[in-house]
């Protein structure tokens, strides 16, 4: 009896083990399981992926250690003294230049700290313009605890970069990589001197590339930032963003924040742009940058529909600068630049960043979309004329008879969420337009508002036709079907002209 009981127990255990193994195998192998309650025909989930990442955490850790040891000696601490109100203490909207951090209020002498990267053995150092601007004195400390007085070689506010120099030899020099080859998801280290803590290393990934955060106030500001989640704080400005090959791929510059401290995202100037800027500043003390001489804008689906593109791509020429390279090359407003020297474009800052690496006299080849056709244009870049920096639209037609209307009569476009009226003779004269209608009201979050049309804008063209009166605009709008897009040319209060596409509500 005892023997029979033992055999029975062993049999039950064996069945249990087999059944349990089947359950575990079904779960771990990702086998689709039937649902209870008569839902066996509902399949949820797929087979579990079998991934071999080849990840060796010890090797990854060793890479971080090796990179930190190799690059940290070439990242210096910069102390700036000023009595002129240097640095930026308060956040600028959500994005913020994060160094130097000044200790005392103006107008007393203040000290701030930042970072820099040694780029030559004889003491040239790249940093951010906002670290050293207005500086009365600059001091540099390297990892060996040596300190040097530094002199300012040159600045480039349009990229927020600067070069300083110390009188030293045989300094450790950072290896500079190729920022054109970086990829989202790639591991990076940020090395600098945040919050007074010298030689700090943090790790993260490249979380985006090509960011334009509109933080550089210069109207020709060039923003094509590398975004990273490696922790950076005030004092990191001018420091190195480094890949796991030990190559500097960016110069840390700004953070996204609501409290002037790290909250998840930092931004670095790509090193390929920094190399060009640094070389020019070392050679000439200023940047020799070529310009096409265009005002450009982004293209989304509504704009693409309005100008006849099959999909959003390229950058739109909003206006042409008088006597600029674009005018000489025969470019026109409404042209779409699809590529430059074979590099396809999808955002204005991509064009700006590429041209920023070229000098006056260099020739670039543009592929241009114009009125349904694709043409090639060779453009010889010119230097910027600082005496005439305003970009003007230059697509005006020959003068026609002026039909002035003194009594304003409001015309509403409820579907677009805006109202317009005729321009008076005085308004035409003061705004230097020959025709157009004045936007008198824009409803918040309506189509016009969302497409950046604002009160007191002047609509001078619609669907490539001159608008002389509200009736002209109404005729063009009414001729379109719901869902169609209409291209408007708008003159702003600051004198600039822009093309704006609006979609007729469905």
Count of Cβ atoms closer than 10 Å to residue 130 Cβ:
27
User: Exactly one of 96, 115, 160, 472 is catalytic; which is it?
Assistant: 160
The residue written with tokens 């000290």 in the block is 111
- Using alpha carbons, select from 471, 506, 476 the residue that is nearest to residue 489: 476
Residues 6+ apart with CB under 8 A from 391: 293, 294, 295, 319, 320, 321, 496
Using CA atoms, how far apart are residues 99 and 115, in angstroms rounded to an integer? Answer: 9
Using CA atoms, how far apart are residues 264 and 362, in angstroms rounded to an integer? Answer: 40
Residues 6+ apart with CB under 8 A from 446: 416, 417, 418
Q: Active site includes 341?
A: no
Using CA atoms, how far apart are residues 25 and 71, in angstroms rounded to an integer? Answer: 48
Question: Beta 458-462 vs 437-442: how paired, if at all?
Answer: antiparallel
Using CA atoms, how far apart are residues 185 and 68, in angstroms rounded to an integer? Answer: 19
The residue written with tokens 């704009």 in the block is 303
Q: Decide: 72 and 201 in contact? Cβ < 8 Å.
A: yes
Q: Decide: 254 and 286 in contact? Cβ < 8 Å.
A: no
Q: Active site includes 26?
A: no
Using CA atoms, how far apart are residues 359 and 275, in angstroms rounded to an integer? Answer: 14
Radius of gyration of the chain (CA): 30
Question: Beta 124-128 vs 137-141: how paired, if at all?
Answer: unpaired
Q: Active site includes 237?
A: yes
User: Exactly one of 74, 115, 130, 335 is catalytic; which is it?
Assistant: 130
Written as one string, the DSSP assignment of 199-265 is SEEEEEEEEEEEE------STT----EEEE-S---TT-TT-EEEETTSEEEEEEEEEE-SSSS-SSE
User: Exactly one of 237, 339, 419, 469 is catalytic; which is it?
Assistant: 237
Which 3 state secondary structure label does DSSP give 41? Answer: coil
- Catalogue the active-site residues: 130, 160, 237
């Amino acid at each position: 009896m005892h023997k029979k009981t033992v055999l029975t127990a062993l049999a039950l255990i064996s069945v249990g083990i087999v059944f349990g193994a089947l359950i575990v195998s079904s779960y771990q192998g990702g086998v689709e399981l039937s649902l209870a309650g008569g839902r066996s025909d509902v399949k949820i989930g797929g087979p579990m992926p079998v991934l071999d990442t080849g990840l060796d955490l010890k090797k990854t850790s060793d890479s971080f250690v090796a990179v930190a040891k190799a690059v940290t000696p070439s990242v210096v601490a910069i102390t700036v003294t000023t009595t002129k109100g240097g640095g930026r203490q308060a956040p600028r909207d959500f994005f913020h230049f994060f160094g130097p951090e000044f200790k005392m209020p103006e107008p007393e002498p203040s000290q701030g700290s930042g970072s820099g990267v040694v780029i030559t053995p004889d003491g040239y150092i790249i940093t951010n313009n906002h670290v050293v601007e207005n500086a009365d004195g600059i001091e540099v400390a390297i990892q060996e605890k040596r300190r040097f007085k530094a002199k300012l070689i040159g600045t480039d506010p349009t990229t927020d970069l600067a070069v300083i120099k110390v009188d030293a030899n045989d300094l450790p020099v950072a290896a500079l990589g190729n920022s054109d080859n970086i990829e989202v998801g790639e591991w990076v280290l940020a090395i600098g001197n945040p919050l007074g803590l010298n030689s700090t290393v943090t790790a993260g990934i490249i979380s985006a590339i090509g960011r334009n955060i509109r933080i550089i106030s210069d109207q020709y500001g060039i923003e094509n930032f590398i975004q990273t989640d490696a922790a950076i704080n005030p004092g990191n400005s001018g420091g190195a963003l480094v890949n796991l090959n030990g190559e500097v791929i960016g110069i840390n510059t700004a953070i996204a924040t609501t409290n002037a401290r790290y909250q998840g995202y930092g931004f670095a100037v790509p090193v390929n742009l920094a190399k060009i800027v640094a070389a020019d500043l070392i050679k000439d003390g200023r940047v020799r940058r070529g310009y096409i001489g265009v005002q450009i804008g982004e293209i989304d689906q509504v704009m693409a529909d309005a100008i006849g593109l099959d999909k959003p791509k390229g950058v739109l020429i909003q206006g042409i600068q008088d006597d600029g390279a674009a005018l000489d090359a025969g470019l026109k407003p409404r042209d779409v630049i699809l590529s430059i020297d074979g590099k396809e474009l999808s955002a204005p800052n991509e064009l700006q960043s590429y041209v920023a690496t070229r000098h006056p006299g260099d020739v670039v080849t543009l592929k241009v979309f114009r009125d349904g056709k694709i043409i090639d244009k060779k453009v010889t870049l010119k230097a910027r004329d600082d005496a005439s920096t305003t970009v003007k639209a230059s697509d005006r037609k020959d003068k026609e008879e002026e039909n002035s209307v003194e009594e304003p009569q409001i015309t509403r476009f409820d579907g677009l969420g805006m109202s317009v009226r005729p321009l008076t003779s005085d308004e035409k004269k003061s705004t230097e337009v020959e025709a157009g209608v004045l936007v008198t009201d824009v409803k918040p979050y309506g189509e016009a508002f969302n497409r950046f049309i604002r009160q007191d804008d002047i609509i001078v063209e619609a669907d490539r036709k001159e608008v002389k009166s509200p009736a002209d605009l109404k005729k063009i709008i009414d001729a379109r079907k719901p869902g169609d897009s209409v291209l408007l040319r708008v003159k702003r209060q600051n004198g600039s002209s822009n093309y704006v596409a609006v979609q007729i509500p469905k």
